[in-house]
Amino acid sequence: MKVMISGGGTGGHIYPALALLDTLKARHPKLEVLYIGTENGLEADLVPRAGVPFKSIRIAGLKRSLSVDNVKTAYWFVQSVLTLRKEMKTFRPDVVIGTGGFVSGPVVFTAQQLGIPTILHEQNSIPGLTNKFLSKKADRVALSFAGSEAQFPDANVRVIGNPRGSEVLKTTVNEAAVRAEFGLDERPIVLIYGGSRGAEAINRAVIEAIPELAAEPVNVLYVTGNVHYDNVVATAPKADNVHVLPYVYNMPELLACASLVVSRAGASTISELTALGLPSILIPSPYVTADHQTKNASALVENGAAELIKEGDLTGETLVTSIRHVLANHDEMAEASKRLGFPHAAEALADLVEEVRE
């Protein structure tokens, strides 16, 4: 079987694609894959690192307001379609899969023009522009949250969850080795990060909270995001139990060892938390389309699996208070979180790939 897959920009669009590929490879050892991304997105680092053949195209996202940049984007879109037509005629994929981010737009569009079966995976409870545009001609649209079906009235929709969630369940975890790697003692691990690219507001609050966190009976693994790391290290107070990291490549393993996660409410993160049954403190990004992270977080908050802090209310003090509160209610929140997970999402998405290629 041959699949072409595209999703990019941030980890939330890339990890679900990689999780699907792992599942397909387990079923088809001779699977041939070509991943299409851009040079500027995180995919240019993560995809080759996962050993997946990668090619890049040049494309940018459309601006929502009138802008000359949109003329350039239209130009790059047409150029990308021409390049991709050649690529698809040579590679001859059985199925083309888009997992979101603007790069998946021309890839799935070209496949649809050429009559190749296409599948979209939507991670968020409010769909992105690219997927809405492509859904009309897609053979399947796989959704991560029940209740968002109405957003794709004309499409062949299935609610299956997010493959990244089930992927983390499959990870082999050696907790003693993880604790040794970061110099952590036996106290619970609080894992803090701001999505795949880091978040300045979370970094500010953590830096403010470090003197208090130093006195809490926890180990803190604090991931700043690559671009923020130097600045955080230069300004953050030091504490023996707070370990600062730029980016984590083995996140599934760390998540499996953590007792509590503090994070943005990106959709792939949510799928990991609920697959593992982890309590969380979620700080939705207010800078995303249609405030979709607040919507992503809502099921967890309503079911007692997470506490939500609005970015405007986030300070060192509100963060520490919430960490204490969640740890005190850990077990009930963990159970509530587990009830919301989709542990078989990767298999379900792989089933759709098999379905449409027949």
Ligand X SMILES: CC(=O)N[C@H]1[C@@H](OP(=O)(O)OP(=O)(O)OC[C@H]2O[C@@H](n3ccc(=O)[nH]c3=O)[C@H](O)[C@@H]2O)O[C@H](CO)[C@@H](O)[C@@H]1O
Q: Which of 124, 166, 203, 219 touches ligand X by CB under 6 A?
A: 124
Residue 127 touches ligand X, criterion: CB under 6 A:
no
Q: How far is the CB of 268 from ligand X (least distance, A)?
A: 3
Residue 298 touches ligand X, criterion: CB under 6 A:
no
Residues 223-252 touching ligand X, rule: CB under 6 A, are 223, 247-248, 251
Stretch in the footprint of ligand X (CB under 6 A) among 63-71, 112-120, 134-142, 286-294: 286-294
Closest to ligand X by CB, 228 vs 264, is 264
Residue 164 touches ligand X, criterion: CB under 6 A:
yes
**# of chain residues touching ligand X (CB under 6 A):** 27
Residue 10 touches ligand X, criterion: CB under 6 A:
yes
Instruction: Please state the three-class secondary structure of the chain as a single string.
Output: CEEEEECCCCHHHHHHHHHHHHHHHHHCCCCEEEEEECCCCCHHHHHHHCCCCEEECCCCCCCCCCCCHHHHHHHHHHHHHHHHHHHHHHHCCCEEEECCCCCHHHHHHHHHHCCCCEEEEECCCCCCHHHHHHHCCCCEEEECCCCCHHHCCCCCEEECCCHHHHHHHHCCCCHHHHHHHHCCCCCCEEEEECCCCCCHHHHHHHHHHHHHHCCCCCEEEEECCHHHHHHHHHHCCCCCCEEEECCCCCHHHHHHHCCEEEECCCHHHHHHHHHHCCCEEECCCCCCHHHHHHHHHHHHHHCCCEEECCHHHCCHHHHHHHHHHHHHCHHHHHHHHHHCCCCCHHHHHHHHHHHHHC
293 annotated as belonging to a binding site for a ligand: yes
Closest to ligand X by CB, 15 vs 54, is 15
241 annotated as belonging to a binding site for a ligand: no
Q: Which two tokens stand for residue 74?
A: 């239209």
Residue 123 touches ligand X, criterion: CB under 6 A:
yes
Distance CA 103, CA 110 (A): 12
Residue 163 touches ligand X, criterion: CB under 6 A:
no
Q: Which two tokens stand for residue 254?
A: 């760390």
Q: How far is the CB of 103 from ligand X (least distance, A)?
A: 13
Closest to ligand X by CB, 114 vs 173, is 173
Residue 341 touches ligand X, criterion: CB under 6 A:
no
196 annotated as belonging to a binding site for a ligand: yes
Residue 196 touches ligand X, criterion: CB under 6 A:
yes
Residue 15 touches ligand X, criterion: CB under 6 A:
yes
Residue 35 touches ligand X, criterion: CB under 6 A:
no
Q: How far is the CB of 50 from ligand X (least distance, A)?
A: 11
341 annotated as belonging to a binding site for a ligand: no
Q: Which of 118, 148, 203, 269 touches ligand X by CB under 6 A?
A: 269
Annotated binding site: 10-12, 124, 196, 293
Which residue ranges make up the site for ligand X (CB under 6 A)? 10-13, 15, 123-124, 164, 193, 195-197, 223, 247-248, 251, 264, 266-269, 272, 285, 288, 292-293, 296
